[in-house]
Structure 1
Amino acid sequence: MNLFHLRYFETLARTEHYSKAAEILSITQPSLSYAISTLESELGIQLFEKRGRNIVLTKYGKAFYSNVKEILASLDNAVRDIKLVANGEGEINIGFLRTLGTDYVPTTVKNFLDLHPDKNIWFNFSCEHGLSVDLVRSLIDREYDMVFCSKLNNSPMVEFIPIATQELVVIVPKDHPLAVKDSVSLKETLDYPQIIFRHKSGLRHIIDDLFKSINAYPDILCEIEEDLVGAGFVSKGFGIMIAPKFDGLNYVDVKVLKLTQPSYKRYFYMAILKDVYHPPLIEEFKKYVIEQSNLNKEYRFG
């Protein structure tokens, strides 16, 4: 049994006429008759029977036709989808940090789509995982085609490409003693209890290293996973926080202070698996992101 025989059978079952089916299939009637005879012989059952000058499906031919029609439709859909991907179309699954979801990711995707108005391209987005370590793990598990996150060490399977920067700042309640300032050194924050990111966060080791650089460490009030949650606690007077500067801080009742001595610039990366096949659309979007990053030099937040 081969695919041609199944297609010949499906066409003949649909038309119930040898000459019409042969014409549709662009083959001779004897070739069609031979193919159907071969198929029936292989199955060991008669699929068609004569009715006057025409033919009709037998009871078993009808059952077989129903299944064959589904199989061929499924195969045709699969071939169509693969050709779509080969043509640089299809879907891209992206994961990203919430910070990048307010402007960077939607702006980048919209501009990319605007360049390809005639192509069938769609994106599936997820910022369900709030931490870079979770995003990278999901990337390795092939849940995403690429993710936008912080860089992780000891991830040899992943290529990290820098695409944006974000300044670290100090956020304090508006009635806090430090709120009279516009900038503050890291040493000046040591007198106050602080909210800090959990160890799973890509920012935690960065902030820990900053305090190590001044040979001191603050009193930690609590640990959080997301910057906006931390800002909410700060606004209610729970403590102060070293945090990334992002637009969402404008909507929280906090004072944002520039961090000096030392200052720090956080980098964001596009992460994609190494040494695996990426279809044309993924490669094209990756190239676009890199080109835009180089064009803008540094995409800054806040």
Structure 2
Amino acid sequence: MDLLQLKYFQKVAEVKHMTKASQELHITQPALSQTISKLEKDVGVPLFNREGRQIHLNYYGEAFLAKVNIALNALEEGKREVMDLAGLQQGRISLDTTFLPHFPDMINQFTEKYPNVHFDISQASSQKIKDELLVNGEIDFCISCHPFDDKGFHNIPIQREDIVLVVPKTHRFANVTILELSEAATEPFISFKRKQQFRETVEDLCLKAGFEPNIICETDDYQIINHLVASKLGITMLPESLVEKSDLTTAVHIKNPISERIYYLSWKDDRYLSLAAQRFRDSLINHYSQMRETN
């Protein structure tokens, strides 16, 4: 059994298809099949159930994968620790983030200071996937609006912003600066699709206000949402930083229920953080702390 076999096994378990796995690993499908068969022979039991071209982990495979993930993560942490001990001013930082105001500016500042540090940045489609990435040790940090309640995690609030109602300039709310969300109960809403996390936030706020939003249009793009509101198709709720400046729309603040987003930087206590990751964490916290002081 060798490291390459374990990495190949992990990839096949992930994509559940030998041909797709071989393409992503840049090897031939027969070579991959041979490697997996040799691994199963070394382990002593079959690890997959084969159904045509599909391949799925069986009971033994599920148990083995859990240990393989731990082993490969531990080796990656060891590599980062050795690099730190050698004093190398480089590294790779992995994080999953929801939209965070001014985040690209902060990344640019950091990479200008540490040009040899590289980032792996993902945007998981659900909070559940974010949680799994952090819990399984696949990423250094998670930035989201949901802190980890379990023991063994750090959660630092780094930014807060209002969620506002965006309406056309001709709308009856256009000259109102602040209102009760319940006043919008009969309005047509434009919203993100259900797979977007912010959609759940909007629905929860509306339910707190005593109604279910009448969503007449859905999209993945906040810019399209802004344009549709400008075209008078309906109104929407957005984080204030996503409201585009326009002569055709206006933003109205909500006083009840409290409508805001708090962004948390979270990391796992027992995951080794490289010097690069530690510098990034401290820079991120300091960056948003300074922004709060100047606002």
- Alignment partner, residue 119 of structure 2: 124
Task: Supply the AA of the counterpart residue of 1:96.
Answer: T
CA distance in 2, matches of 1:252, 1:268: 29
Q: How does 1:31-110 map to 2 (within 5 A)?
A: 84-86=83-85, 87=87, 88-97=89-98, 99-100=99-100, 104-110=102-108
CA distance in 1, matches of 2:147, 2:193: 15
- Alignment partner, residue 271 of structure 2: 276
Matching of residue 192 in structure 1 with residue 193 in structure 2 = no
**TM-score normalised by structure 2 residue count:** 0.58
Alpha-carbon displacement from aligned partner over 1:2-26 (angstroms, at most 9, x marks no partner): xxxxxxxxxxxxxxxxxxxxxxxxx
Aligned pair in 2 of structure 1 residues 225, 134: CA closer, same or farther (>3 Å)? farther
Q: Could you tell me whether the CA contact under 8 Å between 1:133 and 1:152 is conserved in 2?
A: no
Residue of 143, 163, 169 corresponding to 1:148: 143
CA distance in 2, matches of 1:179, 1:173: 7
Aligned pair in 2 of structure 1 residues 194, 155: CA closer, same or farther (>3 Å)? farther
* Shift, 1:268, TM fit: 0.9
SS of equivalent residue, structure 2 residue 106: helix
Structure showing greater radius of gyration is 1
- Alignment partner, residue 169 of structure 1: 164
SS of equivalent residue, structure 2 residue 174: helix
- Alignment partner, residue 282 of structure 2: 287
* Shift, 1:265, TM fit: 2.0
Aligned pair in 2 of structure 1 residues 221, 166: CA closer, same or farther (>3 Å)? same
Aligned pair in 2 of structure 1 residues 273, 232: CA closer, same or farther (>3 Å)? farther
* Shift, 1:297, TM fit: 4.4
* Shift, 1:197, TM fit: 4.0
Question: How many matched pairs?
Answer: 216
**TM-score normalised by structure 1 residue count:** 0.57
Residue of 247, 254, 257 corresponding to 2:249: 254
Higher mean alpha-carbon deviation, 161-170 vs 148-157, is at 148-157
Task: Supply the AA of the counterpart residue of 2:235.
Answer: I
* Shift, 1:245, TM fit: 0.7
Residue of 198, 202, 205 corresponding to 1:203: 198
* Shift, 1:240, TM fit: 1.0
Matching of residue 221 in structure 1 with residue 216 in structure 2 = yes
Alpha-carbon displacement from aligned partner over 1:209-249 (angstroms, at most 9, x marks no partner): 43333333332324444533432332333321121111552
Q: Could you tell me whether the CA contact under 8 Å between 1:184 and 1:257 is conserved in 2?
A: yes
* Shift, 1:148, TM fit: 2.3
% same residue: 19
CA distance in 1, matches of 2:174, 2:90: 51
| TM-align CA RMSD | 3.6
CA distance in 2, matches of 1:175, 1:273: 49
Aligned pair in 2 of structure 1 residues 274, 233: CA closer, same or farther (>3 Å)? farther
- Alignment partner, residue 225 of structure 2: 230
Task: Supply the AA of the counterpart residue of 1:218.
Answer: P
